[in-house]
Structure 1
């Protein structure tokens, strides 16, 4: 053995142990394998502060683990090279940093020498946020410049008018509940312009039409969304409410095919995130594909589509059990309320685009629109806002003869109905009782959508059965028929028609 080689081995501490080294061992070894993921560790650190003063107890995460800032607002988190972002759960009492309504609560990890420093500067709200409101925009789903202009001209302007109808300085934020575009990534800019018209900060949920369809795995399908909006799952706080956003669209590697599924990585993260939240707190979880709907029952199918509900929802329910939970979802283009036990309500939203921008309604008769939620402490109240119509527009009445299956009955669609609502009818001012709820097709949806030739824009749209239709048969000789609807919060909505006129203004 040469003296040079002996000296080298001695420096490695390998002399005298009888090892014979292959020649390539003595060559420089790459720190990162030529193929496969880099799994090296990265130390994240920084400070969360307002005007230089540290904020204690703020949750910081890399999407794997969650740590809290110390008394001086500092954190340190051992991460790895597969993590994309370091981000915070914005605490109550602080503004939502945003760029033209797109919230920014994260930093892209760019490590140097296995370390990355990320400070987060927050600004205190000028008011108490115990009372605040939010809106849920499900499925803007624009596929063309025409759709995009309609989104800006009608939906965004409607939201702006709604915001202006509230007292000045009312706190509002928005949640874009997935399918922000319809596979056309160049239209994300138009979507962002629509949000900017509203002037409020929006948080984004990834939908099945917001994914890279040429990706080889689910992980790769989120690249464009992350580039524009940051993490696909995260949390934040406002007032007494803890908000969570999840990615439940699992891409299976073939274009336009996916299932509703929450990965183990997300569930493990959610478990840590919720560990920072006091039991009994109100938690609002937003995701795109509903945790559950009963549409398969209305369609006389044995089980729901694996792309229409979350397959492993029971674990989500288990994690939410200690809290008062509301789940916000979209995807379906119909409106429905789902109750899981005593403390979980899912709000399946009608869509901003209605039936894919073909007209004024979704295919269950729900008007194109969005959900509005008013928060007071830990309590939520809500209503559905129809685009271009007053907030009092909460039902549509169809006169006798409109429905071929029930030609002697008045029908009414109450799209935001749940079992705590009351739907009554009055004849010539006399209260007659509650109307009968049945499953059926909304008559306006039949008129606009049924058949291979319509709607002309997307001929595949068809009416879908809904269970928020109500019926009553008027008595002989009655001249006026009124429908009075009382929601779960005591708000009363009313519509009336003259029975001698079989036609009615249908909106």
Structure 2
């Protein structure tokens, strides 16, 4: 009979015993072979074929690059049925792999990688599947933007190779939120943390990693450093833009992501893996303007784009037209993954019209009837929102009556912007605004079905919960410390040992709290005290249309106790917190709470919290 192991894990300044399923502590997988097998290459741009190109039409082909030299040799066949787009129109290659697209200045031409084939990656593992056309180049931008491309090429040809990895019906897609490095020191934190974890994983070679915006923190000169990080990963790296990837000196939205486009990827695009169609959207409009973004009066920060430029969560008309045309060419049985930086909707900012997407209902309508999931970053929170979930802000702002399909906010590699003390591995604890910890989301896909999992940086996938004690003593300290933080008058209030509970605490309502990061509607949490029969804990946010519950009573005490002292965000609300009220008649002495969290798929995670009851402090 296999015996479960008990691993002691350091959790943000405390120690918890995690009961790990048999086999979970097995040896690490064999070294990855991605670097030896990756298809490295580039898009083929043919400038002159002895004729003047028609400047109103771009032509070219998608070809199977048998010798992997990125050159369309005569003997290499074209690949039919591949989607090619200029960011507005979408066409399909003919049986010879050829396409024709309307051409215009400042367009990005890209293909949708077909399942069973792989586009090339560069030496940094960044996927190569697009060509920017901007004849005169970007306006004068601090970080360079796009260099002049000159006249329209005679042809732009897109190489691919056959791939069993991308053909497989089983995929593991890493969704990486908010890398958001502001300087080289933070690049080092990312390298020691989540990137080191990804370097040790080999399960995502087909789907790769999608970095969903805020790749850097305003300093676009760090893109080469980011590509050095992706060179350490084991699969294609793709990116979509966030509000900290902007060319802030661009005066119009048409050029606000020129440096991102030049260095990393199109502003929006799609690709296929297995039976999955991934759509990477640009949901950041900068500078936002009063005519489009504040026509309803809800976004007054958009009223002065010249003197006070701001951004808004919005899709432009070209992108919406592209999305409709792209999805119209996708088989109905595919799983559609809609990825963005600013989420279509989220819980943390549920009352904000800026930090959600204006056209959320239009996107929902375009995906209607399909199997779909939306993934996003931006809010530095972890949110697993299921079909039917609803909060007040979504209904009030957008008329949403319940989510038509799951929406997941993927957390952040940077966590709470690399704040807090350093771990022994050299990266910050960075506990987030919802009490979540830095990490990455993975969509584990079979066919057109998926299961989501969140991997905390530096931890096993078995680490899914964070326990705390919310007592009157803690709540009184919370209020006092918050007030002191504003004034800094006198000595700072000190929190007594949070794992010591007095008789007065029990009589005043004390809860064992469980922050279950991927917890959602359909999840359960049970608590057993000292081996007694386990009883259900209660989820604080039911997501049945209520407003956010905010304050010390609804906080994650383990996270907030650190944040109020060390600075950063404050975990005073979360959609994935469960509470279990301790009995008032617990005897003085040592006690143990065994907490079993079960997700919506039936996967169980067990955590242990030891505490002590005393008559008085």
Deviation at 1:58, TM superposition (A): 0.3
Deviation at 1:79, TM superposition (A): 2.1
Q: Are residue 212 (structure 1) and residue 259 (structure 2) matched? A: no
Q: Are residue 47 (structure 1) and residue 47 (structure 2) matched? A: no
Give the whole-Å Cα distance in 1 for the aligned partners of 2:609 and 2:81.
58
Change in CA separation of 1:114 and 1:212 when aligned onto 2, cut-off 3 Å: closer
- Residue-pair matches, total: 446
Deviation at 1:188, TM superposition (A): 1.3
Q: Are residue 143 (structure 1) and residue 182 (structure 2) matched? A: yes
Does the 8 Å contact 1:474/1:481 carry over to 2? Answer: no
Q: Which residue of 2 aligns with 1:91?
A: 114
Does the 8 Å contact 2:517/2:576 carry over to 1? Answer: yes
Q: Which residue of 2 aligns with 1:13?
A: none
Give the whole-Å Cα distance in 1 for the aligned partners of 2:364 and 2:114.
24
Deviation at 1:320, TM superposition (A): 1.1
Q: Which residue of 1 aligns with 2:455?
A: 385
Q: Which residue of 1 aligns with 2:546?
A: none
Give the whole-Å Cα distance in 2 for the aligned partners of 1:218 and 1:206.
13
Does the 8 Å contact 2:467/2:515 carry over to 1? Answer: yes
Give the whole-Å Cα distance in 2 for the aligned partners of 1:183 and 1:423.
40
Q: Are residue 246 (structure 1) and residue 278 (structure 2) matched? A: no
Does the 8 Å contact 1:424/1:431 carry over to 2? Answer: no
393-402 or 266-275, which deviates more = 393-402
483-492 or 467-476, which deviates more = 467-476
What are the ranges of 5 or more consecutive residues in structure 2 without an aligned counterpart?
Answer: 1-53, 67-75, 136-148, 288-304, 389-402, 421-428, 477-507, 541-548
Deviation at 1:501, TM superposition (A): 7.0
Give the whole-Å Cα distance in 2 for the aligned partners of 1:443 and 1:272.
48
Partner secondary structure for residue 143 of structure 1: coil
Deviation at 1:431, TM superposition (A): 3.2
Does the 8 Å contact 2:177/2:411 carry over to 1? Answer: yes
Q: Which residue of 1 aligns with 2:602?
A: 490
Q: Are residue 318 (structure 1) and residue 365 (structure 2) matched? A: yes
Deviation at 1:434, TM superposition (A): 1.6
Does the 8 Å contact 1:427/1:482 carry over to 2? Answer: yes
Does the 8 Å contact 2:85/2:111 carry over to 1? Answer: yes
Aligned pair partner of 1:358 in 401, 405, 419: 419
Give the whole-Å Cα distance in 2 for the aligned partners of 1:148 and 1:113.
37
Partner secondary structure for residue 534 of structure 2: strand
Q: Which residue of 1 aligns with 2:86?
A: 62
Change in CA separation of 1:339 and 1:382 when aligned onto 2, cut-off 3 Å: closer
The equivalences for 1:86-485 within 5 A come to: 86-99=109-122, 100-109=124-133, 116-127=154-165, 128-161=167-200, 163-164=201-202, 166=203, 171-252=206-287, 253=305, 257-296=310-349, 304-339=351-386, 343-359=404-420, 360=429, 361-399=431-469, 401=471, 403-404=474-475, 408-438=510-540, 439=549, 440-450=554-564, 454-455=566-567, 461-475=569-583, 476-477=585-586, 479-485=591-597
Give the whole-Å Cα distance in 2 for the aligned partners of 1:227 and 1:112.
15
403-412 or 56-65, which deviates more = 403-412
Structure-1-length-normalised TM-score? 0.83
Give the whole-Å Cα distance in 2 for the aligned partners of 1:480 and 1:463.
25
Give the whole-Å Cα distance in 2 for the aligned partners of 1:42 and 1:112.
14
Partner secondary structure for residue 318 of structure 2: helix
Does the 8 Å contact 1:173/1:201 carry over to 2? Answer: yes
Does the 8 Å contact 1:323/1:343 carry over to 2? Answer: no
Give the whole-Å Cα distance in 2 for the aligned partners of 1:449 and 1:399.
16
Change in CA separation of 1:113 and 1:134 when aligned onto 2, cut-off 3 Å: closer
Does the 8 Å contact 2:342/2:377 carry over to 1? Answer: yes
After superposition, give the CA deviation of every residue in 1:457-497 in whole Å (9 maximum; x if it has no partner): xx6x4444213211112333473321101112221100122
Partner secondary structure for residue 256 of structure 2: helix
Change in CA separation of 1:403 and 1:171 when aligned onto 2, cut-off 3 Å: farther
Structure-2-length-normalised TM-score? 0.68
After superposition, give the CA deviation of every residue in 1:86-109 in whole Å (9 maximum; x if it has no partner): 210010001242111211111233
Change in CA separation of 1:76 and 1:392 when aligned onto 2, cut-off 3 Å: same
Does the 8 Å contact 1:399/1:497 carry over to 2? Answer: no
Partner secondary structure for residue 172 of structure 2: strand
Partner secondary structure for residue 237 of structure 1: strand
Deviation at 1:376, TM superposition (A): 0.9
312-321 or 106-115, which deviates more = 106-115
Change in CA separation of 1:426 and 1:230 when aligned onto 2, cut-off 3 Å: same
Give the whole-Å Cα distance in 1 for the aligned partners of 2:440 and 2:612.
35
Change in CA separation of 1:272 and 1:176 when aligned onto 2, cut-off 3 Å: same
Give the whole-Å Cα distance in 2 for the aligned partners of 1:82 and 1:212.
15
Q: Which residue of 2 aligns with 1:3?
A: none
Partner secondary structure for residue 158 of structure 1: helix
41-50 or 214-223, which deviates more = 41-50
Deviation at 1:113, TM superposition (A): 7.0
After superposition, give the CA deviation of every residue in 1:196-224 in whole Å (9 maximum; x if it has no partner): 11132111010000000011111111110
Give the whole-Å Cα distance in 1 for the aligned partners of 2:586 and 2:561.
29
438-447 or 317-326, which deviates more = 438-447
Give the whole-Å Cα distance in 1 for the aligned partners of 2:251 and 2:572.
34
Partner secondary structure for residue 80 of structure 1: coil
Deviation at 1:400, TM superposition (A): 6.2
Give the whole-Å Cα distance in 1 for the aligned partners of 2:99 and 2:129.
16
